[in-house]
Chain A
Amino acid sequence: MKDTISILYILFGGMTFLALLGTFGLFLPKPVERARQKLETAPKRSFLVGMVNVVFWFVVLFIWFVWTQYNGGPNMMVYLIGSALVVLLLIGLILPGIPGLVALAGLTGARWNASASILGQDLRGGLLLVLACLTPYVGWFIFTPILLSIAIGAGLLTFFQHKVPPPRVEEKNS
């Protein structure tokens, strides 16, 4: 019975995540559109940037964990500041990752059914992505990390990209 409840919990969790993707798609159309452009033009670069950032965060988390557990532990103030920094870094990854994920869902949905509305595309793509991530072993350990890396990378690239100013048109007075 416990396993049934776990399966139902994961299913409803997936459904709520789907709703979250749809909501963010409606709330943040511009960042999502920019992330989608990045996903279409530079998927490998997005993956690499995302992977480097995720690995960096895990290294920081690991060092912090080892230091707090095996080194006698820092005093309360250092502990609080360190924890806050780790959480801030995590938020810094999640915030750009959300538009990236929505963009990925939208891209999948658009390729699945191009004639659907934007919300429909997001929801369909999101459903496919969530189900794919729930696949035992292949989805959990291979597909989900790759997907998250691509989404975070695309989001980060859109946040920190240089805005190219439009070329000036100089009028010749002759």
Chain B
Amino acid sequence: MTMFESFLYMFFSGISSIALLIVLNLLLPVKVERIQKKLEGHYIRSFVIGLIGLGLSFAILLLLYYIFNLPLNEFIAGQRRPITNIIVFEQLLIPGILILLFIVITICTIAISTIGLAALANCLGQRIEKARKSLNPILSGATLVVLSGLAPFLGWFVFAPVALCLSFGSTVQAFFQRKATPRTLE
């Protein structure tokens, strides 16, 4: 891939990411609003929860990768079981379950982070709208988030991880929040 093609790829990836954030805002307005409330109210809590959640997800993914690469052949060969059992167990069942778990965890992590990023874009957009009303809030917020994440070094290694942690944490809080039970008057 030449320099020009990499640039083209980055450019269109950026545009399509902006579109994805806008579409999530438009198709899931209630959920995004709920996540945004959690995000605006508790920055540090969202960040910490996101950091723990993302760290756990990566740890589980690494563990799955490690188990997948373990030499199970020797372990199972020493058990003296029928060869058909070994083939089913070692070559189909365990790798299948591991791959399925890996895919499910990856997809859930990415989906949760993306919805949170949409809420972050909405939050930024509303703040821009307060200053300048002629701009579309969702478009300006999404553009700002994506361009900030693409900024060399500072964006890649500081903004993007922090934004991902914030968005993951706020989404988790919004999805798994406890419903406050109304107090009964005696």
Contact = CB atoms under 8 A, between A and B. Distances in A.
Contacts of A130: 19
Interface in A20-44: none
A106 to B, nearest CB: 12
A135 B110 contact: no
B27 A108 contact: yes
Contacts of B15: 131
Interface string B12-39: 1101111110111011010000000000
Contacts, number: 67
Interface residues of A, number: 25
Contacts of A3: 1, 5, 8-9
Given A4-B4, A111-B26, A134 B9 contact: no
B19 to A, nearest CB: 3
A131 B5 contact: no
The B contact surface, by secondary structure, is helix
A142 B111 contact: yes
Contact of B8 (A4, A128, A137, A141): A4
Instruction: Please tell me the size bucket of the interface on B.
Output: 20 to 34
Contact of B23 (A7, A132, A136, A137): A132
A29 to B, nearest CB: 22
A143 interface: yes
B9 A128 contact: no
A129 interface: yes
A112 interface: yes
Contacts of A11: 12
Contacts of B19: 127-132, 134-135
B151 interface: no
24 contacts: A3-B5, A4-B4, A4-B5, A4-B8, A7-B8, A7-B12, A11-B12, A104-B27, A107-B27, A128-B22, A130-B19, A131-B16, A131-B18, A132-B19, A132-B23, A134-B12, A134-B16, A135-B13, A135-B16, A135-B17, A138-B110, A139-B16, A142-B111, A143-B20
Interface of A: 3-4, 7, 11, 104, 107-108, 111-112, 127-139, 141-143
Given A134-B12, A139-B20, 18 more contacts: A3-B1, A3-B5, A4-B5, A7-B9, A11-B12, A108-B27, A112-B22, A131-B16, A131-B18, A132-B16, A132-B22, A132-B23, A132-B24, A134-B19, A135-B13, A135-B17, A141-B107, A143-B23
